[in-house]
């Protein structure tokens, strides 16, 4: 799974550590239950409430366009991506 840059990783962690939903004693996000040290590392993950965003990756894990805009249509707590497009 492709990783974000070290700078982006630290920014994501800072956001999580300062988030009201961060469960410090478990090191997990209280919204999705993920361990933030792993969740924040991967390009394909995103914050369930849009504090930080998924980074689009293409073949071979190359970045297509960097960070994408927050998807306001996602339901809070939904951390999955689905598509019917072919
Ligand atoms: S992933 Fe989002 S909601 Fe969860 S702790 Fe981090 S900033 Fe907060």
Distance, in Å, from the CA atom of 1 to the CA atom of 38, rounded to the nearest integer, reads: 11
- Please tell me the predicted confidence (pLDDT) of residue 82: 56
Question: Closest Cα to residue 51, out of 11, 3, 23?
Answer: 11
- Please choose from 36, 37, 71, 77 the residue to mutate so as to test ligand 1's pocket, defined by most ligand atoms within 8 A of CB: 36
User: Is the model's pLDDT at 75 over the cut of 80?
Assistant: no
**Among 51, 53, 77, 78, residue to substitute to test ligand 1 (most atoms within 8 Å of Cβ):** 51
- Per-residue pLDDT band for 56 (boundaries 50, 70, 90) equals confident
Q: Give the C-alpha separation, 41 to 3, whole Å.
A: 5
**What are the beta bridge partners of residue 63?**
57
Q: Does residue 45 or residue 78 have the better pLDDT?
A: 45
Q: What long-range pairs does 56-61 form, CB within 8 A, spacing at least 24?
A: 57/2, 61/1, 61/2
23: β partners: 28
Give pTM, 2 decimals.
Answer: 0.71
């Amino acid at each position: 799974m492709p990783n974000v840059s070290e700078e982006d990783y630290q920014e994501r962690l800072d956001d999580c550590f300062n988030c009201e939903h961060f469960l410090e004693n478990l090191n997990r996000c209280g919204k999705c239950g993920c361990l933030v040290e792993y969740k924040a590392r991967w390009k394909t993950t995103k914050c369930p409430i849009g504090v930080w965003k998924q980074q689009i990756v293409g073949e071979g894990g190359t970045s297509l366009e960097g960070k994408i805009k927050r998807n306001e249509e996602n339901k809070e707590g939904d951390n999955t991506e689905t598509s019917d497009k072919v």
